Chain A
Amino acid sequence: MARCVLFLLAKGEIMAASVPRKIWQTLGAIKTGVVLLILVVILSAAGTVILQRPATDPDEMQRSYSPQMLRVLDAMKLTDVFHAWWFVLLLLLVSLSIIAASIQRFPNSWRYYARPYKSPDDNFRKALGTHAAILIPGEDVGFAVADDVLRKNGFKAEHIVRADSVSLFGERHRISEMAVYIVHASLLLIFMGGIVDALYGWSGFLMLTTGETANSFEQRNGKLRVLPFAIRCDGAGQENYTDGTPKKWWSKLAAIEDGREVVRKEIVVNDPLVYRGVRFYQANYGDTGKMATLTLNANPTSGSGESKEIVLGLEGPTQIDADTSVRVAEFIPDYVVGDGRVYARSNQPVNPAVHLVVTSKKSGKDVNVWLPPIPGFEENEAAPYQFENPRLEMAHFTGLQVSHEPGQWAVWGGVILMGLGLAVVFYLVHIRLWAVPVRDAQGQLVLWIGGAANKNKDAFEQRFRKIVEEIEAEVKARREAGAPVPADVLAAN
């Protein structure tokens, strides 16, 4: 009975061990990887064909799909594919599949990488496809020549001395065997950066006018984000090409922390301000519909006295002479008159009107001046000054895209690593060459030379033939010259 229980337990344990094992094996299989990739492709393609919530106007969504259709799409999260839980899950599975495949294949490659096969035995020599045999007068001459030629061809040859054999081994670009893991690791690094940004990153939009300071703004998801510092706009502007299209938008920004200005920069479209991991991008520029300054010529109504140029702001009254002051009571960027009132039709300064109040200190009398004169409102004639030649300067806002992407360095690191990895994968070939003196079928002493490459095999074959020919020629030359064998080769043997 006890034995039976024990047996069952043991069986259960094997079962328990084999299910995760099976899952692990399945995850690492190339088939799983391909199926997952196909799913990613199909779903991302769907995400480009179906209108996506974050990028599209809600009205546009309503117009494009019927209500039932929209309900179904929304329920399946097909209107926001790239943020849907199942898409995230899929990317996670892809990552797991890459990890599993890499870990399962890694030990084999590592063995190959860390303990290269240097001393070819009989079986290996028979199995290897690319090989040649060169007749040599003696082992030392063979080694010396092979050593020379390999060195000339960029291989560092080493003498491998085993109990029963001595051989020569040379190789290049062993790292090529590991490159695919570099590429996979870089892809995971990029994914990791993306996940970190999805979890801890944020972005939003901040609108500032010149002189304004702000430390909070609305995030893209509607939440309010308060920064540990404030940002001040010291100026913003637009430069145009001669044909009127915008050439450049710029803003002068300053970051203020604990009442101190800590950093200052003029940003343009492709060059953001970065402070404490928060990036401020020039995203937008435009009219606020408010006036910044109004410059006017003031001529005394009496006709005596000279004309003066005055600059008005929105802040307070400006003195024209000792007695008279003027202030801007209203600024209407696009005015229209109706129902006994002056209305603003839009925020664009296409048809501006300004309401000035001219005050005399002595008499305490206020006069309403409208530019342009609007009948029924203006008392322009009654004012002590007549105003001419108004030059309007509008207040502009600068739109700043604010974002915090703590994971982006992992992404850029991953990209660089991937570039290097791919270069190695495609362009560095692991080449191995072996040379060992053996007796051939006729009992003659020959130098057996074998070679292997992990890719681009046809190009390698040609190279191998060339190396063999060089060795052959050199052996022949030395045999004819009866050249002495170098002492160090003798010693090594």
Chain B
Amino acid sequence: MLLNDYLKRQISEYADDVLDLESTRQVSDFIESNPEAEAYFRRLQALRRLTFSHLGREEEDSTLEIRMMNALRLRSYDRTWWERFFERRILSPRAALATAFAVFLLVMFLFAWAETPVSHFLTATRAEVEQLREETTTSLSERGGELTESLIELITPPSDENGTKDQVGCILRERTNAV
């Protein structure tokens, strides 16, 4: 009988001792009664022992942490100043927190210090802009009136009576105002 995937999985978990009591008993009985299952289990255990004894118990690399720390330091020096700043922030968050707080205080101080002059400047600029706008509006109105009058003079024939001239003037003024 060939072992199917389910049986191999049961044997695998039996080898790791992660089955419940009943399943453990059943698998154990099965292994004892089935030569193929027994052979598979013994091969698996032998291979596990051999692998662990050869690969799982290597001598500790005593220089590993020194090499890693040096490599990481060098790596941070290869970076630009802003990247280093963030590296330092990660390696030393307390210093970074203090720096961030100091920068925040500086910004707040500058803001408080500059608030009055800036407000004053903005108010004065706004008043000036308003004044310029009013002057421009008045000047444009006056200029528009003058142009209208000139136009009336131009398009009305000199021989016409005053009535015609007044009618043309009214129409033009209405159009001008409408525009």
A and B from one assembly? no
